[in-house]
């Protein structure tokens, strides 16, 4: 039930951001057990004026190829699962698309299960 938002600077290959999304979904599937077909993503490309980041925050040297990933998901994963997810996403983007590990920024937003409605005005996971 994650909702994934990916933000990058405008890329010369129009299929690039879609491939990033596919790799993130595969990483979530393998690292934290996201089910088949549970894939909802917002993929956005921005010009320089609308993609602002600190290139050296926390001593990590980011480039203009930064990939910002925000994943909203139901709470309940362990710290170990989250660390595995971060590593799997970064390693996969690096291996498949050449994204530098320093350029993979991930933010998880955990919510209670009743905070989702997948359609029909129904809270499908509310207990």
Please, are residues 21 and 43 in contact by the beta-carbon 8 Å criterion? yes
Q: For residue 4, which of 89, 81, 66, 72 has the smallest C-alpha distance?
A: 72
Q: Looking at the domain assignment, is residue 47 inside a domain?
A: yes
Query: Known catalytic residues?
Result: 2
Q: Which pTM was predicted? A: 0.93
Q: Looking at the domain assignment, is residue 100 inside a domain?
A: yes
**Domain tally, the chain:** 1
DSSP string, 41-69: EEEEEE-GGG----TTGGG----TT-EEE
Per the DSSP assignment, residues forming a β-bridge with 2 are: none
Q: Looking at the domain assignment, is residue 120 inside a domain?
A: no
Please, are residues 5 and 70 in contact by the beta-carbon 8 Å criterion? yes
Mean pLDDT by 10 residues, the chain (127 residues): 95 94 97 95 96 97 98 96 98 98 98 90 86
Q: Looking at the domain assignment, is residue 127 inside a domain?
A: no
Domain range for 39 is 3-115
Q: For residue 62, how many C-alpha atoms fall within 13 Å in the half-sphere facing its CB?
A: 18
Q: Looking at the domain assignment, is residue 43 inside a domain?
A: yes
pLDDT given at position 33: 94
Please, are residues 44 and 21 in contact by the beta-carbon 8 Å criterion? no
Strand 40-46 to strand 3-9: parallel, antiparallel, or no bridges (unpaired)? parallel
Say which CATH number the domain at 106 has.
Answer: 3.30.429.10
């Amino acid at each position: 039930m994650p909702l994934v938002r990916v933000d990058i600077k405008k890329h010369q290959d129009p299929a690039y951001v879609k491939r990033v999304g596919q790799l993130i979904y595969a990483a979530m599937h393998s690292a934290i057990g996201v089910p088949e077909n549970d894939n909802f993503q917002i993929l956005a490309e921005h010009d320089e004026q609308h993609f602002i980041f600190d290139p050296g925050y926390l001593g990590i040297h980011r480039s203009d190829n930064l990939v910002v990933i925000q994943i909203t998901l139901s709470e309940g994963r362990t710290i170990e699962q989250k660390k595995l997810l971060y590593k799997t996403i970064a390693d996969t983007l690096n291996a498949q698309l050449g994204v530098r590990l320093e350029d993979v920024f991930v933010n998880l937003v955990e919510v209670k299960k009743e905070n989702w409605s997948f359609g029909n005005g129904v809270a499908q996971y509310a207990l």
